[in-house]
């Protein structure tokens, strides 16, 4: 099969199932954690705590900048979700008692926000990563292969965050 035939098949398959995909590629997970919002906030605003939150195979090669806590803290990290792999700078761009926001600047980057809401048992934590899915013909591959693995990585982050804050 020639390259043009293969590309035609990919475009046909991609366009036939495109209506099944969401409009965005955002990854959103939530979990209640038995810790105060202040404790979670303090843990998340220190980038040195982040490598241990990511499940094995989801992030690696963390290299920290001169500062690791508060606005301006930064690191270089490689994220993986299946065959998807990106080496990006991560910068803590904002935080308050309800939110910690991390930016991964650049064309291939994304924004990750942890939102914290107090509950009777601790804190409801939402991890929301804004990701633009790739263009056709790669959209289907993203939603079938990469997106589910990225969800598993995010769920693991919140699970590990809960474990890290257990007394």
Query: Does 21 have pLDDT greater than 50?
Result: yes
Domain spans of the chain, in order of start: 24-164
Rounded Cα gap, residues 79 and 85, in angstroms: 6
Q: Which of 92-101, 140-149, 154-163 has the lowest mean pLDDT?
A: 140-149
- Label residues 121-140 b or e (16+ Cβ within 10 Å = b): ebbebebbbebebeeebebb
Say how many C-beta atoms besides its own lie within 10 A of residue 96's C-beta.
10
Per-residue pLDDT tens over the stretch 79-130: 998 888 999 999 999 999 999 999 999 888 899 999 999 999 999 999 999 8
Topology of the domain covering 24-164:
Alpha-D-Glucose-1,6-Bisphosphate; Chain A, domain 4 (3.30.530)
Query: Does 19 have pLDDT greater than 70?
Result: no
Q: Per the structure block, which two tokens stand in for 125?
A: 């934590």
pLDDT value for 84: 82
Q: Per the structure block, which two tokens stand in for 72?
A: 């301006």
Q: Per the structure block, which two tokens stand in for 120?
A: 């009777």
Among residues 120, 125, 82, 123, the alpha carbon closest in space to that of 100 is found at 125
pTM: 0.84
């Amino acid at each position: 099969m020639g390259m043009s035939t293969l590309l035609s098949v990919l475009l046909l398959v991609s366009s036939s199932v495109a209506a099944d995909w969401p409009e965005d590629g955002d990854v959103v997970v939530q979990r209640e954690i038995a810790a105060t919002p202040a404790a979670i906030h303090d843990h998340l605003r220190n980038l040195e705590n982040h490598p241990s939150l990511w499940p094995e195979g989801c992030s690696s090669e963390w290299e920290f900048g001169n500062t690791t806590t508060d606005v301006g803290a930064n690191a270089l990290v490689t994220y993986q979700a299946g065959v998807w792999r990106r080496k990006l700078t991560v910068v803590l761009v904002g935080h308050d008692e309800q939110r910690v926001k991390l930016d991964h600047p650049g064309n291939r980057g994304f924004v990750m926000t942890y939102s914290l809401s107090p509950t009777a048992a601790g804190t409801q934590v939402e991890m929301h990563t804004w990701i633009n899915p790739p263009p056709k013909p790669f959209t289907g591959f993203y939603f079938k292969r990469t997106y589910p693995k990225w969800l598993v990585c995010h769920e693991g982050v919140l699970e590990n965050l809960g474990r890290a804050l257990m007394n």
